Structure 1
Amino acid sequence: MIQMKICNLCSAFLIKTMIDVRQLQCFLAVAEELHFAKAADRLGLAQSGLSTQIQRLEQDLGVTLLNRNKRKPVSLTDAGRLFQAEAVAALRHIERADQVGRLAARGLAGVIRVGYVASGVSSGLLSRLLSEFRKSHEMVRLEIVPMETPRQLEALGDGQIDVGIVRPRRLYPAGVISKVLQTERLLAAMAESHPLARRATVSARALADQSFIVPQFAEEEGFGSALSALGKAGGFTPHLEYRVQDFISAICLASAGYGMAIVPESMQNFSQPGVIYRPISDFRLSVNLALAYRRREVSPAVRAFVKLGTETFKVSAS
């Protein structure tokens, strides 16, 4: 019952005084030394100033913490012993909060939410970025979220993510910019039973009568435009058989014989059984992965992540 009362007094004191760190430090010094002069020397205070701090603390709490008697050594009251444990814990929390706050101000602590397209993983780009960042920012928590490019750009705008690994766009939402991190060539993905799978390479013209599976076809930009460029190179109008949301879906359908997909070369790292990848000999179009972020980012940790990414990968503006 007494312990509960003291704990309640401690909580009330910490709330009322907004955690008066100096008073706690003064009390703990006396509680450990059990001697006002020694405690004052330890803190670099005048003994009178130390006594004043302890008296104010006891007044705020409404309880006596120390037994004072000129003929006897200083000792802790029952309330003082209970308060000592609470004060030690409170100071540890305060010191931890101070440390984290200072680290956060330098970009060395905090939380960063990173969106990424599938190629960000299959190409190894995301893991390399995270690995490099962790070397100098171990206390920053990284949360990664799979998300296609259009959704990432929306999420950047409304603050749901902080940075994104995206397919570049001609236009971005207000306040969002990007820089290219990596370039990849395009390959034709087909079922291993497909007649063209027996060739080491295929030509654009050889794909004229194929049915295609296209990721993100609903967008004006993206792989719908890449397929149109392929048709132009081969002198044909592509037949769009399936429209899917991502490359993994496209590869799954291609491996099952539902059509052919034009995909970034890094998708070869996606181990889907039954699919073959072939270079297109007369089609040189490449695609990029970019780091997208807010132009006026306020988080030091996010700014550090963007800075490291752009400097490490020697990117160019998109």
Structure 2
Amino acid sequence: MLDVRQLQCFLAVAEELHFAKAADRLGVAQSGLSTQIQRLEQDLGVTLLNRNKRKPVSLTDAGHLFHAEAVAALRHIERADQVGRLAARGLAGVIRVGYVASGVSSGVLSRMLGEFRKSHEMVRIEVVPMETPRQFEALSDGQIDVGIVRPRRLCPAGVLTKVVHTERLLAAMSASHPLAQRGTVAARALADQSFIVPQFAEEEGFGSALSALGKAGGFTPHLEYRVQDFISAVCLASAGYGVAIVPESMQNISQPGVIYREITDFRLSVHLALAHRRREISPAVRALVKLATEMFDVRAG
């Protein structure tokens, strides 16, 4: 097995073509240098250097071939050593980040990652769109490291959440919808509408927000279409399939034909939260969580 010290000794001699100068360059005894290269040649089973008291040191054909590989190998080793030390300080590594659609539309995800990159350029970020329940599962089993989620009353054991963003809800509808002609709408004006609702597979989420809207307007909402995310909901709303109750940040995503209206007597706010494991061993992940919690005006989720 090649030894780093042997490679360093060989390269010094190959570049100086003089044992004494190479020894001085490395700060070692010439005898020790010669011993290291002899061991290298024995390990490889080939002569790398021509040694002749009457002629300068030169590389053999095998020495020339080995020199190029030795240079590359030493660079890789030095790079690996550097990356390992950076990783130990949280300055290198890979972080997988899950997010709900509002993490993008609100700017929370891009702001967080943009700030993190300023001091952690060597950390590779992988982003994965994923609904909230799936993110909690993925955090628990290690498939993602950090999540931008809709907070829940109960989280899986070992997972923590902190609120990082709060916004109001708006009604999204087609530009041709009769209510789109108004500057604002009252909750009761939505009584006979068909609603498009995301995250329908769980008890919490925007099903409960729609129930609160019905209570404010004195009606029972009719859930016509059930979709997996707000982008899908806005798409259907713009096509005239119904009304979607969505976070106001969805206005930042361009969707032709959709109009957003404030609901005057419905002031329910919704939140985004940063989710992460309580016991995190990765220094890079810990650094991202620390930065995010300092960036945003957070409170326990």
TM > 0.5 fold call: yes
Correspondent of 1:236 among 201, 219, 239 = 219
Distance 1:207 1:86 in 2: 73
For 1:67-82, what aligned pairs fall within 5 Å after superposition?
67-82=50-65
Q: Give the letter for the 1:282 counterpart.
A: D
Partner of 1:56: 39
Deviations 1:210-241 (CA, angstroms, capped at 9, x unpaired): 22111112211000011111111222221211
Shift of 1:250: 1.3
Instruction: Please identify runs of 4+ aligned residues in structure 1 that moved more than 6 A.
Output: none
Aligned with 1:65 (options 21, 24, 48): 48
Residue 197 of structure 2 is matched in structure 1 by 214
Deviation at residue 315 of structure 1 after TM alignment: 1.3
Q: Which residue of 1 aligns with 2:294?
A: 311
Shift of the alpha carbon at 1:92?
0.8
* Superposed CA RMSD: 1.3
Pick one of 10, 13, 20 that aligns with 1:30. Answer: 13
Alignment-derived partner of residue 223 in structure 1: 206
**What's the CA shift for 1:256?**
2.1
Q: Deviations over 1:102-142 (max 9, x none)?
A: 11111111111111111111111111112111111111111
Q: Distance in 2 between matches of 1:58 and 1:279?
A: 79
Instruction: Give yes or no for the alignment of 1:257 onto 2:257.
Output: no
Out of 161, 167, 171, the position equivalent to 1:178 is: 161
1:52-79: CA deviation from partner (whole Å, max 9, x where unpaired): 1111111111112122222222222222
Q: Is 66-75 or 129-138 further displaced after alignment?
A: 66-75
Partner of 1:160: 143
Q: Percent identity?
A: 88
The match for 1:280 is: 263
- Counterpart-to-counterpart distance in 2, 1:286 and 1:166: 15
Aligned partner letter, 1:159: G
- 1:126-145, aligned counterparts within 5 Å? 126-145=109-128
TM-score by structure 2 length?
A: 0.96
CA deviations over 1:3-48 (Å, ceiling 9, x no partner): xxxxxxxxxxxxxx2x411011011111111111111111010111
| Residue 40 in structure 1 maps to residue 23 in structure 2 | yes
CA distance in 2: counterparts of 1:257 and 1:191, whole angstroms: 5
The one-letter code sitting in structure 1 at the alignment partner of 2:90 is G
Partners of 1:199 and 1:244 in 2: how far apart? 27
CA distance in 1, matches of 2:255, 2:56: 78
TM-score in terms of structure 1 length: 0.91
